[in-house]
A = this chain, B = another copy of it.
Amino acid sequence: MGQQWLYGSAEGAIAARQTFGALTSYALAKAKTRPADSVIIDEATGRPVPCGNKPLAAVFDADETLIWNVGSMRWFAMQGKDFDPATWDQWEKTGTGKALAMPGALEAMAALRAAGITPIANTNRSTANAKGSEATLAAAGLGDFKHGETLFLMGDDATGSSKDMRRATIAARWCVVAMAGDQLGDFRNAFNKPELPPLQRRTLATAAPYDGLWGNGWFLFANPVYGPSIRGGFDDIFPAETHWEPDTL
C-alpha cells in the first residue's frame, strides 16, 4: 500500500510536488534578505548556526527526498523483502539510471540554483560508493553533487548514521536556508529515536522550541514505505480514548 501510494499514485506525486513548491518559495524568499541564521541547529547550544557571509545552500536527504529508488524498491518488493543491506550496497554502486528524480525535484533544483542557492545532499549512502551516488543523482537529472563539496555520505566522519556532524560541517561553510528529508534524522539526530513509542516520538519532534520550523525552513516528505516512522502495534498508534466498535454487525 505504501509503495502504491508513494511510487504509483497521482496523490503521492502531488504531495511531493507540493512540498518542493513550499520549500522553493520559502528558500527564495529567505535568500532575498539573507537570514541571520541557518536552519541547522548547533547541537552543543541548541541554537541555530549563524550565517555570517557564507554562501547560500539548501540541504536535502537523497533517498525518497531527491530520488525515488524505484529500481531497488521493485526488486525488494518482488523478493518479498523489506530491505537487504548487501543488495542496497549493490544498488548504490550500479543503480545509476534506474532511480528517478522525485516529482518536483528538477524544478526545485533549477529554481534554487537560479537564485544562487546551492543544493547539497546529506545522505546515509556510503562514502565507499561515492562515485555511484554522484552518478545516480546526475543521471536522474538533478545536476552535480560532488563528494566532500555538495555531497556528504555515511563514513565521511566517525559518527556513523547520525547526520549531525555532517550538518555541522555543512553549516560551517554555508548559510542553509532550507532543509528537507523524509525521516526525522534528516533534521536532528535527537529526533531519530526508533526505540521510543510512536506517540512519544511524535511529541518529541513537534515540541517547542523547534516545532515552528516544520514547513518554515524544515520540509518533510511523506514516505510511508520505510524508516522509523513505520513502527508500532494497534495499541501504540490508536489512543485508548478513541477505541470504538459497532453496536451490531
- A residues apposed to B, CB below 8 Å: 1-15, 17-19, 21-22, 70-75, 77-78, 86-87, 90-91, 94-95, 98-100, 103, 182-184, 191, 198-199, 201-202, 204-206, 214-216, 219-225, 227-232, 234, 236-239, 242-249
Interchain CB contact under 8 A, B98 and A214:
no
Partner of A10, one of B21, B94, B99, B206: B206
Please tell me if the beta carbons of A98 and B244 are within 8 angstroms of each other in the complex: yes
Q: Which residues of B contact A184 (CB under 8 A)?
A: 10-11
With A1-B224, A98-B243 as given contacts, are A10 and B205 in contact (CB-CB < 8 Å)? yes
Distance between A126 CB and nearest chain B CB, rounded to angstroms: 16
Query: Does A75 contact B222, Cβ atoms closer than 8 Å?
Result: no
In the complex, the answer to whether A4 meets B237 with C-beta atoms within 8 Å is: yes
Given contacts A1-B1, A22-B22, A237-B3, contact A74 B244 (CB under 8 A): yes
The copy count of this chain in the complex is 2
**A5 / chain B contacts, CB cutoff of 8 Å:** 2, 222-224, 229-230
With beta carbons under 8 angstroms apart, the residue of B2, B13, B222 that contacts A1 is B2
State the CA gap A28–B8 with chains docked (Å).
33
Closest B residue, CB atoms, query A197: B8
Closest Cβ of chain B to A86, distance in Å, is 7
Question: Contact between A201 and B237 (Cβ–Cβ < 8 Å)?
Answer: no
B70:A247 contact, CB within 8 angstroms: no
Q: What are the residues of chain B within 8 A of A219 when measuring CB–CB?
A: 18
A44 to chain B, nearest CB (A): 24
Contact in complex: A22, B246 (CB < 8 Å):
no
Contact across chains for B77 and A215 when beta carbons are under 8 A apart: no
C-alpha gap A223/B224 in the complex (Å): 9
- Contacts A74-B244, A90-B246; A7 near B220 (Cβ below 8 A): no
Residue of B nearest to A1 (CB): B2
Give the contacting residue for A223; candidates B11, B78, B205, B214; CB below 8 A.
B11
Check if B74 sits within 8 Å of A238, measured CB to CB: yes
List residues of chain B with CB within 8 A of the CB of A6.
224
| Set of chain B residues within 8 Å of A227, measured between Cβ atoms | 11
**Contact flag A95-B234 (CB < 8 Å), given A214-B14, A229-B11:** no
List the B side residues contacting A237 at CB < 8 Å.
3-4, 7-8
Task: Report the minimal beta-carbon distance from A219 to chain B, rounded to whole angstroms.
Answer: 7
Q: How far is the CA of A77 from the CA of B225 in the complex (A)?
A: 18
Kindly report which residue of chain B lies nearest to residue A71, judged by CB atoms.
Answer: B244
